Structure 1
Amino acid sequence: MAQDIETNTDGTAAATGKGLAGWRHGAVWTYLIMLVASAAALFVSLMLAAETLQLARHPGEKLGCDVNGIISCTDVAQSWQAEFIKFAGLSFPNAFFGIAAESVFVTVAVIGLAKVVVPRWFAICTWLGGLAALLYAYWLFTQSMFVIRALCPWCLGLMFATTIQFMALSHATVAVQGLPRRSQGLRKYYRLNFDLMVDFVWVIALVVLIIVVEGPALFA
């Protein structure tokens, strides 16, 4: 790979230290994966918001995604963790923040697909926002599994979608945006496709954790 190339044929930066060459490291592939994951997360957030409104209208009813004592959207939605952000005496459901955040990530993915050159600060803030969304989703996941002792199928879908979203965003930040600028280790990590193995193990580890902790109830 020539070190004096400024851009690839798809318009992304190449080996000058800004980005990586190859179709899998281009804007189209990385941001397309991010767009699909973000759109899925947005859809799930909308469904969670609809269920929140359903509980508000009919407090005594159970939600349609309740299967048993463990797989229960109602138990999760009625917990304090589902509305722990409060302001001026009002509580705000997590799903509403999910709609706002995922709308932003969908927009960022579309901008990336359009190969629009964004400022360095914008790319950094986007990645930090993706990290915050991931940590938020994992906090809710651990609260559901170990504190509330109930799993919401929509919440699990959101957690997995946010995970894929963060993987794609991190890939695009390094391979397309060329950040951080002096991290040859990260570039080698993606150039040699180590990320594929790590991402696969990451997702499998989450699935195994769910099965180990809640397996008897899931397959009862």
Structure 2
Amino acid sequence: MAIDVNDDVDGAAEGVDEDELGLDARPTRDSRAFAVAVVALASVGLLAAFVLTIERLALIADPSYVPSCSFNPILTCTSVMTSPQAALFGFPNPLIGVMTFPVVIATGAALLAGARLARWYWLGLQAGVTLAVVFIHWLIVSSLYSIGALCPYCMVVWAVTIPLFVIVTERNLRLLPSDVDSPWARAGRWVQGYRTPILVLWFLLVIGAIAVRFWDFWITLF
């Protein structure tokens, strides 16, 4: 991802307490880029989660229903949706996305409008994206080694959650510490400088795991 997401909006409004929600009439180009990236990624995730929810409800209503994302024995939402892992908390997992992605979209929209968000809000968002990235990796491992199938719409959610985690974490590491020379701030600047390689390597590792796990099936397609 080549978008520069330096977010200096927090310090732009003079005279506003750091822990208050204020308005910055002059959001920077970098803060707008960060906000646009957040809105775009979360919107794609919300759409995928919403479609998954509709498909799951249709499958509940009619067990013989074939979801639109079921293409073959490996790329099939049916096997994933009917697994115990698909309802970890007692309800369909996509509902988590339907509830949480709008919060991320609202955050980006608020930044585009010039909002200055409190420190506690950013810490809460950081906790949210961290839990999300841990959760999707548990789902990735479950899909590969327990369920033995891949849900295309689920993979869309995986694909947007990873960069969301990276850009939010980078932003918070750089801007939340009061000392710009602290180890956290330096780590944030390092992530900023290597954001694209980090994302490319991360995706390659996931794709590689998928390729190796289902190699016997993939080679039958050629």
Please indicate the TM-score interval, normalised by the length of the shorter structure.
Answer: 0.7 to 0.9
One of 30, 33, 37 as aligned partner of 1:33: 37
Q: Deviation at 1:115?
A: 3.4
Within 1, Cα distance between the matches of 2:149 and 2:188? Answer: 40
Q: Deviations for 1:35-70, whole angstroms, at most 9, x for unmatched residues?
A: 111111000000100111110121123222222211
1:139 correspondence with 2:141: no
> Structure 2, unaligned stretches of length 5 or more?
1-5, 13-17, 19-27
Structure 1 residues 127 and 61: CA distance shift in structure 2, 3 A: same
How far apart are the structure 1 equivalents of 2:112 and 2:204? 28
Partner of 2:93: 94
Which residue is equivalent to 2:215?
A: 215
Greater RCO, CA 8 A, separation 6+? 1
Counterpart code for 1:95: P
Identical residues among aligned pairs (%): 23
Partner of 1:162: 161
> Cα RMSD over matched residues?
2.4
Q: What is the distance in 2 between the residues matched to 1:217 and 1:180? A: 48
Identify the residue that residue 125 of structure 2 maps to in structure 1.
126
| Cα distance change, pair 112–186 in 1 and its aligned pair in 2 (3 A) | farther
Unpaired runs of at least 5, structure 1: 1-7, 87-91
- Aligned residues of 1:70 and 1:151 also touching (Cα < 8 A): yes
Runs of 4+ in 1 over 3 A off after TM superposition: 10-14
Matched, 1:74 2:71: no
Structure-2-length-normalised TM-score: 0.80
| Letter in structure 2 aligned against 1:203 | F
**Residue deviations 1:137-159 (CA, integer Å, cap 9, x gap):** 11112111110001011111111
1:12 is displaced (CA, Å) by 5.3
Counterpart CA distance in 2 for 1:197 and 1:152 is: 26
Distance 1:95 1:11, change over 3 A: closer
How is 1:104-123 mapped onto 2 (pairs within 5 angstroms)? 104-123=103-122
In 1, the alpha carbon distance for the partners of 2:65 and 2:9 equals: 53
Match in the other structure for 1:55: 59
Distance in structure 1 (CA, Å) of the matches to 2:215 and 2:186: 38
